[in-house]
């Protein structure tokens, strides 16, 4: 069995502040962390590999050289090999160009059975890269995956979160799964021996030349969209909280709406 996990290093959004004048994010001095959704994906992948007792795990990311630390953490969690796809040519990639780059790297790794992604990254929250990788690899995908079971005959059972409840699905390999950690998920901190072992595991850095592929599809050139500005909309006025039982709260709310002419009086 060959497992591949795609991860991303992100700014710790709990530490991100907004510039009150420009409403843009202040990224300066904000620590970088492994995207928590991806950490869940790595931990699930390692757990499955341990349960079936076979397989190797490659973890890949596209990012600047400092993304190494996120990959090292994945190696400490139990991945066998890390690949950092890093080159200025990849700068400015939107989700499609990112997915193209990652899918190309996956093809370069060779044959695979399962690709794990986090459902989304906490910085962009697009949830697009996983499905786009599946599309570019031409394999099926399941998103909103909360639990993965794989038995020794490689029968795959998935618990997928939906608005109407959980779906239990069976699927064939190869497949891409986008994982969403349940609310009970507590990220594990790897023990010291695993951190030390991680240093001895294969760590590869692929630039655009090593990766190969169509360079016009990398970075800004390969992106259909561009982020012009990231900002938090300014507050639009005062907020009044109505704390009461639902019936009384509804009455108070309707009065306020009528008073403010948001609703026409009957």
Partner 1 sequence: MPKDIIKALAKFELLGMVIDPEYGGLGTDVVTAGIAAEELARADLSCSIPVLFLVGTSWGHVIDKYGTEEAKKEIFSKSIKGEQIIGIATTESDTGSDLGNMKTKITKKGDKYVVNGEKMYISGVAEAMEYGGGHVTLARMKPELGTRGMNMFYLPLKDTPGITPTYVEDIGREAISCGGFDINNVEIPKHYLLGEENKGFYYIHEGYELARGLIALVCAGAASKALENGIAYIKERKAFGRHIGKYEGIQFKLAEHHVKIQALRQLGYKALWTYDQEIQGKASRFEVSMAIAMAKSVAPFWARDAIDDVMQWQGAFGYTKECEDQKAWRAVRSFTLAEGSSEIMKLIIARELLGKEFLAYR
* Interface of this chain with partner 1, residues 11 to 70, rule: CB under 8 A: 29
Candidates 62-70, 84-92, 188-196, 212-220 — which segment interacts with partner 1 by CB under 8 A? 188-196
Among 147, 143, 146, smallest CA distance to 133 is for 143
212 binds partner 1 (CB under 8 A): no
Which range touches partner 1 (CB under 8 A), out of 112-120, 136-144, 192-200, 243-251? 192-200
Residue 216 DSSP code? G
Report which of 75, 171, 63, 160 is spatially closest to residue 114, judged by C-alpha positions: 171
Q: Least distance to partner 1 from the beta carbon of 13, Å?
A: 17
Alpha helices in 138-245 (DSSP H): 192-198, 208-211
Q: Which of 182, 191, 202, 212 binds partner 1 (CB under 8 A)?
A: 191
200-to-72, 80, 89, 116, 193 alpha-carbon distances in Å: 10, 10, 29, 23, 11
Least CB distance to partner 1 at residue 149 (A): 27
Q: Least distance (Å) from partner 1 to the CB of residue 192?
A: 4
Cα distance between residue 125 and residue 27, in whole Å:
16
Task: Give the separation between CA 171 and CA 140, rounded to whole angstroms.
Answer: 9
> Is the CB of 191 or the CB of 212 nearer to partner 1?
191
Kindly state whether residue 235 participates in binding partner 1, applying the rule CB under 8 A: no
Name which position in 186, 193, 216, 260 contacts partner 1 (CB under 8 A): 193
Binding site for partner 1 (CB under 8 A): 29, 189, 191-193, 196
């Amino acid at each position: 069995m060959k497992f591949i996990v795609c991860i991303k290093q992100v700014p710790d959004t709990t530490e991100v502040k907004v510039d009150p004048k420009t409403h843009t994010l202040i990224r300066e001095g904000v620590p970088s962390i492994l995207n928590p959704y991806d950490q869940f994906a790595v931990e699930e992948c390692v757990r499955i590999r341990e349960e079936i007792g076979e397989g190797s795990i490659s973890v890949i990311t596209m990012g600047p050289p400092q993304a190494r630390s996120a990959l090292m953490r994945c190696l400490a969690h139990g991945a066998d090999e890390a690949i950092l796809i890093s080159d200025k040519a990849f700068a400015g990639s939107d989700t499609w160009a990112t997915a193209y780059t990652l899918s190309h790297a996956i093809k370069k790794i060779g044959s695979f059975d399962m690709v794990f992604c986090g459902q989304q990254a906490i910085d962009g929250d697009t949830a697009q890269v996983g499905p786009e990788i599946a599309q570019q690899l031409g394999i099926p995908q399941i998103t909103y995956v909360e639990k993965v079971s794989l038995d020794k005959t490689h029968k795959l059972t998935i618990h997928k979160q939906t608005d109407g409840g959980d779906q239990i699905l069976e699927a064939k390999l190869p497949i891409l799964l986008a994982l969403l950690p349940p609310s009970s998920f507590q990220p594990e901190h790897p023990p010291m021996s695993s951190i030390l072992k991680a240093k001895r595991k294969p760590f590869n850095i692929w630039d655009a030349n090593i990766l190969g592929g169509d360079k016009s599809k990398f970075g800004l050139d390969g992106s259909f969209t561009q982020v012009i500005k990231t900002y938090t909309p300014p507050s639009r006025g005062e907020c009044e909280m109505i704390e009461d039982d639902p019936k009384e709260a509804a009455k108070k709310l309707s009065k306020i709406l009528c008073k403010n002419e948001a609703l026409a009086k009957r």
